[in-house]
Structure 1
Amino acid sequence: MTTADQYPEFRLRLPNGGPEARGRHTDEMGTNGSRRFVVLAGQPVRPDVVPSFQQVRSAHRLREQLLAEGRIKPSQTWPGWLETADTITFNSPSEAGAVLMGSAVNGWLVWKTEDGRPLADFLPGASWGPNRAWLVRGSNATGLDLVQRMWLPEGRVSLAAARLRQGVEPGLSKEEVRVLVQEDYEATATYSQKQDLVEELHAFLSRMKPGDTVCTVSGGRLYVGEITGAVEQIESEDHRSNLRRPVTWQDEGHPYDELPEALQQKLSAQHDVVELTAVQAAIDGLGLTDEELADEAEAIERDPSVEIPAITVRRDPELPEPTDELAAELLVHETAWLREVRDLLADDRQLVLYGPPGTGKTYLALKLAEFLGGGPEQVKLVQFHPSYSYEDFFEGFRPQEHPETGEVAFRLTAGPLRELADLASREGNRHIPHFLIIDEINRANLAKVFGELYFLLEYRNKSVRLTYSGDDFALPPNLFVIGTMNTADRSIALVDAAMRRRFAFVELSPRTEPTSGLLRRWLDAQGKDAEPADLLDALNARIEDPDFRVGPSYLMKKGVYRNGGLERTWRTKILPLLEEHHYGEGIDSEKRYGLTALRRSLPEPGA
């Protein structure tokens, strides 16, 4: 057995300007598989604890036990602090640091030598760097729930590696793991199974390290712990837990249905080992209120000028309230209508503006998205058409020229949805609303264009495995979709129930506001005569099918009000639209819908 004297002395600065505690690392294994850490008598201990400390299962209980036994007592050396009354041997550096600090800590990084080197530097073969978070599944290991049966009671996490040869060293590169998997699982796993095994084994053997967060799901609850030691390979009796790591688990699990959406998305990935580092802040805040998190940050002397990630990550993307100025700019009849559209987007995150041509659907979608997103940089527009495909919309292989060799080859290329989703999910962008405008959304085969993403429009808290890249993908919570649908092109009645479930529908029709009075408000703002609005009302009164009534945007252009502009617009844009609608019916469009006929139907001025 190696003694503590073979390691240098390590120091731990207590918070709030507190004194410095000292201890030594050993090679003696603790009960949970980590190396023990020794703190001598007379070392300072923080007198209080942070709110989350009760979740640190064994350390909290141990601290309470040591206080009750008098092994931690009021300090004579540091008034207002506590101190150790005798030598205490802890199961791990993290347990020692947690008891002394009264908070969860990564002992491998907070215990440092006099010249500032962390304890981690003295452990050979380990991979060190920023802490990571991981999901390891144990509730479906060959039909058994290892979480309840072994992991929680014994303080460990494991990975089945039934055919992996004995004596595998930690710290292997991915290529070295790939060779082992290819040789050891040659005839017992498919190609895709081997690919998954390489990723999972490499993560468990080489990327995980003491101090990392580990999560698992069992019985509808998420359990969180800290890895406290190195990987161990054993010949387990049932081959369900050949690779093991010691873990200090928190006392209580968290109800899965109450977890933040971003965390649920990551947890839904169908792999046995999944990196959760991107949602570490959401994990850190589980079970704590904002006030408790703020108190904890203050207690560990966090920089007050920096937002607390665990609080920041809880904020839903906020859509600003539409203003009277916006309503005036868009010539909407009342601000309350815009607020309702905004609320629909906030609730459903997907919305369709539908109506006849010329009702301003695309213009309104763009302007509203720019206002709600804070500018045009957060808005991307695509237009669907019958030949539009998944590869065009999301990702696919396309011919591209190599910038240096000039060689043309098919390369995986992101489409507009993937590009916008990647932008919205970047650090720093996650609380900024981003908008995808899909013009003429009903002109494409939606099931074909969206592919597996169609599922995500309804289940935003899930992720799916992508067809081409094989990545796990989820729609960011701050990504909103606004579609426009021309009812003259394809009736709204033909939209299937699947799409109706995924989108809120808002009508823009000449028969209702804000469209019915839009042209009249525009003419008034421009100081022009109201005759074009009267003519449009008379025209739409003669069109029986509401899906083919004509919208006001045809008459909201400067060219309409130059010499002969109204007659020209009516003859070349409005009448052809109605002639196509009545094709084969033998109706004289000019006689029924022409300007001369409509003007005759209008009441005389002053009548």
Structure 2
Amino acid sequence: MTDEFPEFQLRLPNGGPLARGRQTDEPGTNGSRRFVVGPGQPARPDVVPSFSTRAASAHRRREELIAHGDIRQSQRWPGWLETTGEITFNSSSEAAAVLTGGNINGYIAWKAEDGRPLSDFMPGTGWGPNRAWLVRGSNVTGVDVVQRLWLPEGYVTLAATRIRQGVTPGTSKDQLRTFVEEDYESALTYNQKLGLVDALHAFLSRMKPGDTVCTISGGQLYVGEITGDAEQTESEDGRSNLRRPAEWQGIGYDYDDLPEELQQKLSVQLDIVELTSVQALIEGLGLTDEELADEAEAIDHDPSVEIPAITARRELELPEPTDGFAAELLVHSTGWLREVRDLLWDDRQLVLYGPPGTGKTFLALKLAEFLGGGREQVKLVQFHPAYAYEDFFEGFRPQEDPDTRDVAFRLTAGPLRELADLASREGNRHVPHFLVIDEINRANLAKVFGELYFLLEYRNRSVRLTYSGDDFALPPNLFIIGTMNTADRSIALVDTAMRRRFAFVELSPRREPTSGLLRRWLTSKDKEPEPADLLDALNSRIVDADFKIGPSYLMKKGVYRDGGLERTWQTKILPLLEEHHYGEGIDIEKQYGLKALRRSLRSTAPEPPA
């Protein structure tokens, strides 16, 4: 044992006693560094239910130590166990797991007297909070090294068949770039070389013992912990030249059952992908909230702080519309609002379509604010023919430097990117966020959405962005409500790609909730029903359903001042119908004017009783 490391302490759960141990430089069975616990150190008398599956090798070691009398009932700490002699463990995590009876990261749990974790004392670079990584190994030169090497022998590897010997942890990225350029001069394309440099730098210098590592094989996600430094070897087939020791859990998790946000990260097509943003989801795999609480107890978790894995899996919910909300919107039925809510929940993209004046934008905003819990979670954008991807998502725009007054093109986020970034922040992931797109049919959607069009249908995938080069996925809690004016474009002309990605809900004067909206509004304002009668008579004369007139034109204060109804009819409603019948030779005033409609209503009114 070396004096390089101080004595480390481990607090046992439920305010239990302190166990002490020392880190060594001696290599373990797979290259990890051994950890020694001396005699008379306390151990938990029981284990958490998930221990045997989440830390199978540590569980077996604990059972063997108890069976051989190396751990037995303690006289010093009644109700606890204690070690009877010096025990050498394969890693600090194995030592911590055996003593606490739970799956535990020893590089964080073992602390020096001043409170610093063991990880701070390990040599090498990249120390700090532990991270999570995906390392692909299921198809390395046609061989699944996960099943062949990683799981049975306790490793994670990175193929680097041509890289020179002597590459070590801490090698700078610039040095690696030079090595790859020289060693793979004609063997890889430019982009492949860039990808290899990033993978080598992550594997050698950013990963560290204590980090979580994941891989995919045979439709299963396997999770483990990196337990040692990287080393370079000469494997026979050249498939595992760089390796790190790792302790793998004894179980795999079905890929199709993984949380959507985790699937998005796993879909990134790189050899090594950082998964730290979804690390809490990984920690909660296969465990109930009760089992997670048991594991937290094993590491003496502060009960006043919510367990991150439980927080991360908090269910996203859209609230059920209430009768009060339906009454506020003057909607005929709460059930209709619930149906719209269910469509949003199922598809996450919805279009409200109908003729002008049917309240599409008003309803979209009110729905978004109610379902999202406030205006802070809602962003409105209006499409138009000149609208482009650079306006909507991200692009280079001229911006002035406030100090130098120079103007330069800088990558700038658009409304969708801004809202997606807000929705994906930690603490926001269970809160619904809404993007309301007004006049969605007025822009070229394929041009505006670009590669994001794919994500509207495949929410569990990610894509590489055009400008920034980031791997991006739409957060599960981001919903889109569009509005579409059918007087501009009939729904029959909407391309099938858009039809497949959005649910469509009609708002038409022909049916509820629009058909009776004006009458309900007039009643709520204690006004005479004549405007509703006139609107019904007008729409009965309009044959084309896409050009029927919505009630919102007549739901404004100005309509009910002296001469207001006549002004609205002449300046808002009749011009729409003139445009619709342009070139047909129809007398718009005679067909749709107030005088004509009022005469029609008088002629059809029932005779008063004698």
TM superposition score normalised by structure 1: 0.97
The residue number in structure 1 matching 2:263 is: 264
Q: C-alpha deviations, 1:271-302, integer Å up to 9, x for none?
A: 11001111111101111112212233344332
Secondary structure (helix, strand or coil) at the match of 2:201 reads: helix
- Map 1:109-508 to 2 at 5 A: 109-508=108-507
Query: For residue 375 of structure 1, what is the amino acid of its counterpart?
Result: G
2:51 alignment counterpart: 53
Q: Helix, strand or coil for the counterpart of 1:485?
A: strand
**Corresponding residue number in structure 2 for 1:44:** 42
How much has 1:111 moved relative to structure 2?
2.2
Q: Is the 8 A contact 1:57 1:248 kept in 2?
A: no
Whether the 8 Å CA contact 2:11–2:300 is kept in 1: the answer is no
Distance, in Å, in 2 between the alignment partners of 1:487 and 1:122 is: 67
Residues 1:210 and 1:596: Cα distance change in structure 2 (over 3 Å): same
List aligned pairs for 1:23-102, cutoff 5 A: 23-54=21-52, 55-102=54-101
TM-superposed CA distance for 1:25, in Å, is 2.1
Q: Does the aligned pair in 1 maintain the 2:13–2:297 contact within 8 Å?
A: no
- AA paired with 1:264? Q
Checking the alignment, whether the CA contact within 8 Å between 1:49 and 1:101 is kept in structure 2 is yes
Code of the aligned partner of 2:542: I
For residues 391 and 197 of structure 1, the distance between their equivalents in structure 2, rounded to whole angstroms, comes to 30
Distance in 2 separating the partners of 1:497 and 1:325: 37
**Percent of aligned pairs sharing the same letter:** 79
TM-superposed deviation, 1:5 = 5.3
Structure 1 pair 445–6 and aligned structure 2 pair: CA distance change class (3 A) = closer
User: Using the alignment, how far apart are the partners of 2:242 and 2:466 within structure 1?
Assistant: 31
Aligned partners of 1:8 and 1:24 also within 8 Å: yes
Q: 2:380·2:437 contact (CA, 8 Å) conserved in 1?
A: yes
Aligned to 2:520: 521
The superposition leaves residues 472-525 of structure 1 with CA deviations (integer Å, 9 ceiling, x where unpaired) of: 101111111000011111000111222122111111000111100111111111
Following superposition, the deviation at residue 52 of structure 1 comes to 3.0
Preserved contact between residue 5 and residue 24 of structure 1 (Cα < 8 Å): no
Q: Which has the higher mean CA deviation after the structures are superposed, 353-362 or 577-586?
A: 577-586
Letter in 2 for 1:40: G
CA distance in 2: counterparts of 1:187 and 1:120, whole angstroms? 40
Q: Does the 8 Å contact 1:37/1:89 carry over to 2?
A: yes
How far has the Cα of 1:387 moved from its partner? 2.0
Per-residue displacement from partner, 1:346-398 (whole Å, max 9, x unpaired)?
A: 22111110111100000110111111112111111111122211111111111
Distance 1:261 1:405 in 2: 45
Q: How far, CA to CA, are the matches of 1:450 and 1:208 in structure 2?
A: 35
Kept in 1, the 8 Å contact 2:393–2:413? The answer is yes
Q: Which moved more, 1:260-269 or 1:121-130?
A: 121-130
Q: State the 1:269 CA deviation.
A: 0.6
Measured after TM superposition, the shift of residue 115 of structure 1 is 3.9
Deviations 1:162-221, CA, capped at 9 Å, x for gaps: 222211121233333333333333333222222222221111111100010000000000
Show the counterpart of 1:21: 19
- Specify the code of the residue in structure 2 equivalent to 1:374: G
The answer to whether the 8 A contact 1:353-1:506 is kept is: yes
Pairs within 5 Å for 1:568-579: 568-579=567-578
- Structural RMSD (CA): 1.6
SS at match of 1:248: strand
SS at match of 1:251: strand
| Matches of 2:212 and 2:532, distance apart in 1 | 65
Segment of structure 1 superposing worse, 496-505 or 293-302: 293-302
Whichever residue aligns with residue 481 of structure 1, its letter is I
Indicate if the aligned counterparts of 2:9 and 2:111 stay in contact, CA closer than 8 A.
yes
Q: TM-score under structure 2 normalisation?
A: 0.96
Kindly state the Cα deviation for residue 57 of structure 1 after the two structures are TM-superposed.
2.6
CA distance in 2, matches of 1:520, 1:6: 84
Contact 1:4/1:24 (8 A) holds in 2: no
SS at match of 1:342: helix
* Structure 2 Cα separation of the partners of residues 499 and 225 of structure 1: 41
CA distance in 2 between counterparts of 1:534 and 1:446 reads 39
**AA aligned opposite 1:273:** I
CA shift in 2, pair 1:363/1:121, >3 Å: closer
Q: CA deviation digits over 1:443-491, x for unaligned, max 9?
A: 1121111111111111111111111111010111111100001111100
Name structure 1 gaps, 5 residues minimum.
none
CA contact (8 A) 2:101 2:298 kept: no
**Partner secondary structure for residue 27 of structure 1:** strand
CA shift at 1:45, angstroms?
1.1
Distance in 1 (CA, whole Å) between partners of 2:322 and 2:233 is: 66
CA distance in 2, matches of 1:531, 1:440: 31
How much does 1:4 deviate? Answer: 4.3
Other structure's SS at 2:250 match: coil
Structure 2 SS opposite 1:505: strand
Distance in 2, Cα, partners of 1:372 & 1:120: 44
1:24 is displaced (CA, Å) by 2.2
Partner secondary structure for residue 320 of structure 1: coil
Q: Measure, in 1, the Cα distance between the counterparts of 2:304 and 2:25.
A: 41
1-side partners of 2:346 and 2:531: how far apart? Answer: 38
Counterpart selection for 1:9 from 7, 10, 33: 7
SS in 2 for 1:33: coil
